[in-house]
Amino acid sequence: MALPIGTVLDGKFKIVQILGEGGMGTVYKVEQIGTPPGTPPYYYAVKELLISPNTSEEDRKAAIDRFNKEIALLRGLKHPRIAALMLPFQERGNYYFVMEFVPGRSLEKILETSRGPLPEEQVIRWMVQVCEALTYIHTRNPPIILRDLKPGNIMVAQDDEVQLIDFGIARRFDPNKRTNTENLGTISYASPEHLGSITMPGQRRSAQNPGKLVQTDARSDIYSLGATMYHLLTNYEPDPIQTPPQGSVLAKNPRLKTVQLGNKVICPVEQVIIKAMQQDPAQRFQSAEAMRVALIQCLPQVAAPSTVQIPALSPNSTIIVPTAIGVGGGGIICPKCGFQNRPGAKFCKRDGQPLVQGATIAPPQIRAQPVRSGIQARPVQSPSIKARPVQSQPIKARPVQSNGSVPARTVQPIRARPVTTPAATDPMVAYRAGLQALAQKNYVEAIRQFKLSQSQGASAYDSLYNLGRAYRQYGQSVRETNQTLFTENMKHAAEYFEEALRIKSDAMDARFQLGMCYRDLALYPLALAAFKKAQATAPDDPAVYYQLGLVTSEQGLTSEAVGYFKRGLEINPDHALILVALGRIYMDMKNQLPAAITSLRNATQIDPALWEAWYELGRAHMREKEWNYALSALRRAQQVNPRSASIYSAMATCFSNLKKKSDARQMVNEALLRDPKNAEAIRLQKQL
């Protein structure tokens, strides 16, 4: 029975909430007593082992032993995705240990609330983080096997960061054991090894056929992770000890991403699940890191398809996952618009799309060759690449000088062997080359390769969509240096996205990109129409409301813009870019400066590395003539982005109003050094 709320444990932990109850005890949320006045409360989780008086001595000893083993395991683990152990203690005859409190909800609770499959991309990103934690425990010496990985033991915080909880039946791997001492775990997610043996596919376990004795190892957690993904993406519990048949996951969730390979339509994430849930451990992913790589490659627009073997289906069976993009020194690439954000960014600066850390990092930039005019957006009608004809003379037989007794043998001319090139027969070669060039920002080559793949019969939608992406990103790259080229290429991008939507009218990504092209071209009615159609397709995507707010704001429709931004914040209250955009609008509205400051301050707390939030907060304080507060915010903006002339000119204004002319002149000089045409700095220079 759980202890009452308000009970104090170990003299310093007051119970404030019951987080979970089970047959062997309870987990409490506790507040540390005695924190200094004015400081926020410190919360921990306390796990209790409750032993009934009716428990046999043998069972009591086994429970205590398992509890102490969990403490011993956790004591040596230090990883951001694993709740840390603080301290164990005993009280009232019961056993306890204090852990780091993980705010948020378990995936089990999220699944219950959703009453349907969870979004594919979000699930993949969560599972990538789980793989990071598994890699850590699996590479301990000796390895630690979790053995009870399931949705209820995976916590998701408000920032979508994942942590593993409950190491109650985890064990250290012992290579000398043939089978487990205890076969524990939740059966729906348990691998065949959890039962102590595995049988051949199609065979049932029985007294006559007990199977091959095995123990759980790291690959057992791989099976459980695949089963967890199955549940999250279908809202069906996986069948115990069974590999999902081909097509069964997609049948339960037809919205999963598919790719076309020849005449086959294949679901990459389904194939990853099937591989993870193979009956034979040797046929699964052999490490959590290998599964993490495969999952990252299933994310939208990471790269072109490639093949990975799944031996269990048939000797020649393959699954389709994308090849990974290399890692370089650049920033994080937005999966929607392709914009290269600063390292560590949480949201795309251009479209507000949430970014995944470490998944799509741009390699070092390869500059496109200079182009003197806009690239024409019409498909290139080019024949397949043919082998170069080989000019070769037939080889004649050398005359034999003989006395006539042996006649010379006739030698047949050797003909040139025809040369073939992969690109002549496989359009995916050019398609992959286009994606690689696009990732490397070699836009001219990307466009050439996508047109070539299109002419050779690649998927019409994919070719058109990626041509649009290439033109748009190329246009963005020259926006500040060549306005004419920017405009021409943005028009070509819009044409290709329109053509792609004629083939696939419900394609959210193409619709979103088209809306951004129209907005970049200041074609606001067309942009608004595109984003409203995107809204109908994805009514819960905050990035769409962010764009709708920007479009209406740029048209001067302030009340509509505020409405769109507020709707986006209802979906994601921590969307820093929406908070900044809303703060800008409030600054220009009567009697709304306090609301602007609140919105902008919230943005800085959510993403302290977003310099625009600090800059706009400084500007808002300047409107209130709070010069010292403004300077403090502007200095934070300067630390993040020391290259912006606007920050220095704003700081110069603050120093000028504080009668610090020497500092003001220095800031003016810094601003003009970065932008000789900065109007605010020029005005202040004349005054000073």
Annotated binding site: 47
Centroid of chain to Cα 426: 30
d(CA 436, CA 13): 55
- Cα–Cα distance list, 624 to 183, 618, 661 (Å): 67, 10, 21
Note every long-range contact of 634-643, with CB atoms under 8 Å and residues 24 or more positions apart, other chains counting. Answer: 636/604, 636/608, 636/611, 637/611, 637/612, 640/609, 640/610, 640/611, 640/614, 641/611, 643/674
Cβ partners under 8 Å of residue 641, min gap 6: 611, 647
Nearest to 619 by CA among 577, 649, 661: 649
> How many Cβ atoms sit within 10 Å of the Cβ of residue 158?
11
Do residues 188 and 238 touch, judged by C-beta distance below 8 A? yes
d(CA 580, CA 598): 10
d(CA 415, CA 394): 7
DSSP-assigned letters across all residues of 251-276 = HH-TTS--EEETTEEE-HHHHHHHHH
d(CA 671, CA 679): 10
d(CA 590, CA 558): 12
Do residues 679 and 650 touch, judged by C-beta distance below 8 A? no
The DSSP element (H or E) to which 106 belongs, if any, is: strand 105-106
- Cα–Cα distance list, 369 to 5, 443, 451, 478 (Å): 68, 8, 17, 12
Cβ partners under 8 Å of residue 227, min gap 6: 150, 188, 189, 238, 276, 277
Q: Which residues define the annotated binding site for ATP?
A: 47
Cβ partners under 8 Å of residue 100, min gap 6: 44, 45, 83, 84, 85, 86
Q: Strands, E, within 558-602: which ranges?
A: none
The DSSP element (H or E) to which 462 belongs, if any, is: helix 460-477
Amino acid at 596: A
Do residues 277 and 238 touch, judged by C-beta distance below 8 A? yes
63 Ramachandran zone, left/alpha/beta (phi>0; psi -120 to 50)? alpha
39's tokens: 């400081």
Residue owning tokens 């990109």: 513
Q: If DSSP states are collapsed to H, E and C, what string results for 509-561?
A: HHHHHHHHHHHHCCCHHHHHHHHHHHHHHCCCCHHHHHHHHHHHHHCCCHHHH
